[in-house]
Chains A and B, each alone.
Chain A
Amino acid sequence: DQQVKQNSPSLSVQEGRISILNCDYTNSMFDYFLWYKKYPAEGPTFLISISSIKDKNEDGRFTVFLNKSAKHLSLHIVPSQPGDSAVYFCAASEGWDTGNQFYFGTGTSLTVIP
């Protein structure tokens, strides 16, 4: 049973435009969320996180929005660059400070077209 879902397997965006990657979860106890980026033949790298006490977290071109009532989070990349082309995974956990495991989505492959 997939507790974290990324329903769009792929997304194509023109360079300079906004990329919006979406993630839905089913467990209302999740209160810490991460986004990872993965290039081919490499392991995932941490991108940005958000805890449930916030509804927005921004880091440069990357912003994550959390809508707890909808159990939905999204990652916005503005402006998108060709180097952003990668697979993006969202992950969720119950209690960020208790060592609980993370549940991952299946990933969204982003292609930024020059």
Chain B
Amino acid sequence: KAGVTQTPRYLIKTRGQQVTLSCSPISGHRSVSWYQQTPGQGLQFLFEYFSETQRNKGNFPGRFSGRQFSNSRSEMNVSTLELGDSALYLCASSEGLAGGLGTQYFGPGTRLTVL
């Protein structure tokens, strides 16, 4: 099976712009979670989608939003970008909800740089 794929791998934007990141989970996986990784904060949970519904949400402002399509692919959108949004954005897929059994599979991430 192909792994989790994320596009694009690298992105450079300027403050105030918006960005959309894409994640394709492993075939058959219905859950997609998004994480932000920064050197100072480590991995921080953004949100999780399961069967097109947001199931969990981390402590991020409303500028961060997401959605999941019927084929389980997910997109994450960040509006009005700020310098502090520069980070590696990881998505992870799992068959069921992500809270159990450590069976999340991570993609390689999208490196977002905000200038």
Bound complex: CA A97 to CA B96 (Å): 10
Asked whether, in the complex, the Cβ of B99 is within 8 Å of the Cβ of A46, the reply is no
Distance A89 CA – B58 CA, assembled complex (angstroms): 18
Contact B90 A46 (CB under 8 A): no
- Smallest Cβ-Cβ distance to A90: which chain B residue: B42
Distance between A102 CB and nearest chain B CB, rounded to angstroms: 6
Answer whether A104 and B42 are a contact pair too, CB < 8 Å, given A45-B106, A49-B102: yes
Q: How large, as a class, is the contact surface on chain B?
A: 20 to 34
Q: How far is the CB of A23 from chain B (nearest CB, A)?
A: 11
B108 touches A106 (CB 8 A): no
Q: Which of A2, A43, A98, A107 contacts B90 (CB 8 A)?
A: A43
Quick one: closest B residue to A106, CB to CB?
B42
| A-chain residues with CB within 8 Å of residue B107 when the two chains form the complex | 43
On B, residues with C-beta under 8 Å from A are: 4, 35, 39-45, 48, 50, 55-56, 58, 90, 92, 96-109
Which residues of A does B touch, CB under 8 Å? 2, 6, 32, 34, 36, 41-46, 49, 89, 91, 93, 95-107
